[in-house]
Amino acid sequence: MLNEKAVLVIGGGVTGIQAAIDVANQGIKTYLVEKTPSVGGHMAQLDKTFPTLDCSACILTPKMVDVARHPNIELLTYSEVKEVSGTAGDFIIKIEKKPRYVDATKCTGCAHCAIHCPVEVLNDFDEMIGVRKAIYVPFPQAVPLVYTIDMDNCIECELCKNVCEAEAVNFDQEIEEIEVNVGSIILATGYDLFDATKLKNYGYGSYDNVLSSLEFERLLSASGPAGGHVFRLSDGKIPRRIAFLQCVGSRDSEHGMPYCSRVCCMYAIKNAILAKDHIHGGCETTIYYIDVRAFGKGFEEFYQNSQTRFGVKFVRGKVGEIVEDVNTNNLIVRVENTETGQLFEDEFDMVVLSSGLVPSQGSAEINKILNLPIDQYGFFEELNRISPVDTKIEGVYMAGVCESVKDIPDGVSQASAAAMRASLKAI
């Protein structure tokens, strides 16, 4: 019953996962390629999701397990697409499987190796706030739950090898290249967070207590480096006043980011609520915005509740600059309240930048191979208004943020859409 033609999905975030499942569910063989050791993407980093405050991991993990267990899906994590040739209906794909130095068939994910590993490395999954070992899984619910040795940091003491009862560690592993033949390709290469260090006036990177939204997510996350306890990175104190700055790297032509990143308003409101929820003894949260774009289903209601029920404060105005008080590491924001026209300063314990979304490095890399037309920012261009998931190459489709910024529901909808289009080229 399985089709002879297959579909390739590039990117193992929630969008790629959904796309793979929706293709495979139609009885079509599907390859899901993810370059990091685990599927899950950015969504796995989030603590809760708006507007329902659903725990991100709880709703995502089952999908991650599905994708790994699906009989029609071949999951290729820690792998990258190196070459694409052929045309719609008959693409030849060269995929490079990077060595984990751990035998995936033997590893049971018991964490024994990591416990003994002497090397601690900043964990990029935790946005460099927490640490992991040189042999690691990025996060506890990782799929596959197979450890990976990060050779850049490994000192090859082979302790892990000795303690592994499953005898899974294997330092002789090498790059493996496989070739697959598919009818169509789905791009789900996602996004990167706008690099706020470009905005000198906000001091991100130099002030300890100015965080990016993803860093704050990791602080909030129960399975994150702080176990869900929000504290200041400068002195470990609990912040009592937190400011959220909107449109950081969005709606900002000066810095070449004219577009709206579509999700920041909502995640800022969500995080403002969660901060109040996580910080015992209370915490005051203020959001500085231009327009509150609560446009999705249930968003406006969520926005209203955040004020009435949770008491999140909203000030209309784009913050001009942030100055750090060198003694207290507190942050003074300078801003004009455009509703009262008054310029003023306010002091906060912590400032969270609602950074916009930009096309991912991954998108750029895959496009070196595919040469798809992209817009001025690097998002892939759609064929036309009523073909939003068709790229300008037949047989190559796209879903999620690599096409344009969007939230999770719109992303997974698009994933299913791409699955539909892709399946037509695989039957």
| Residue given tokens 């306890």 in the structure block | 229
Q: Are 257 and 249 in contact (CB under 8 A)?
A: yes
For the bound state, the minimum distance from the C-beta of residue 77 to another protein, rounded and expressed in Å, comes to: 19
Give the one residue of 33, 292, 333, 335 binding another protein; rule: CB under 8 A.
Answer: 292
For the bound state, the minimum distance from the C-beta of residue 364 to another protein, rounded and expressed in Å, comes to: 18
Q: Write out the binding residues for another protein, residues 188-247 only, by CB under 8 A.
A: 222-223
For the bound state, the minimum distance from the C-beta of residue 84 to another protein, rounded and expressed in Å, comes to: 23
349 binds another protein (CB under 8 A): no
Distance from the first to the final alpha carbon of the chain: 12
Q: For residue 385, what are its two tokens?
A: 């208004």
Of 226, 264, 219, 228, residue with least CA distance to 244: 264
For residue 361, the SS3 value is helix
Please identify, using beta-carbon distances, which residue of 371 and 384 lies nearer to another protein. 384
H or E element at residue 321: strand 319-324
421 binds another protein (CB under 8 A): yes
**Using CA atoms, how far apart are residues 296 and 88, in angstroms rounded to an integer?**
35
Q: Are 349 and 240 in contact (CB under 8 A)?
A: yes
**Using CA atoms, how far apart are residues 84 and 182, in angstroms rounded to an integer?**
10
Is the previous residue joined to 239 through a cis bond, with omega within 30 degrees of 0? no
For the bound state, the minimum distance from the C-beta of residue 196 to another protein, rounded and expressed in Å, comes to: 19
Cβ count near 282 (within 10 Å): 8
Of 378, 360, 351, residue with least CA distance to 246: 351
Please identify, using beta-carbon distances, which residue of 88 and 110 lies nearer to another protein. 110
For the bound state, the minimum distance from the C-beta of residue 271 to another protein, rounded and expressed in Å, comes to: 16
Number of residues that bind another protein (CB under 8 A): 79
Give the one residue of 86, 256, 298, 311 binding another protein; rule: CB under 8 A.
Answer: 298
Q: Write out the binding residues for another protein, residues 312-341 only, by CB under 8 A.
A: 338-341
Q: For residue 200, what are its two tokens?
A: 């000198």
Give the one residue of 350, 389, 396, 402 binding another protein; rule: CB under 8 A.
Answer: 389
* Span near another protein by CB under 8 A; candidates 198-206, 272-280, 357-365, 413-421: 413-421
Give the one residue of 86, 258, 320, 373 binding another protein; rule: CB under 8 A.
Answer: 258
For the bound state, the minimum distance from the C-beta of residue 51 to another protein, rounded and expressed in Å, comes to: 7
Q: Write out the binding residues for another protein, residues 35-74 only, by CB under 8 A.
A: 49, 51-52, 54-55, 57-60, 63, 69
| Residue given tokens 């820690």 in the structure block | 78
**Using CA atoms, how far apart are residues 121 and 131, in angstroms rounded to an integer?**
5
Q: Write out the binding residues for another protein, residues 369-388 only, by CB under 8 A.
A: 379, 382, 384-388
251 binds another protein (CB under 8 A): yes
Give the one residue of 90, 300, 321, 346 binding another protein; rule: CB under 8 A.
Answer: 300
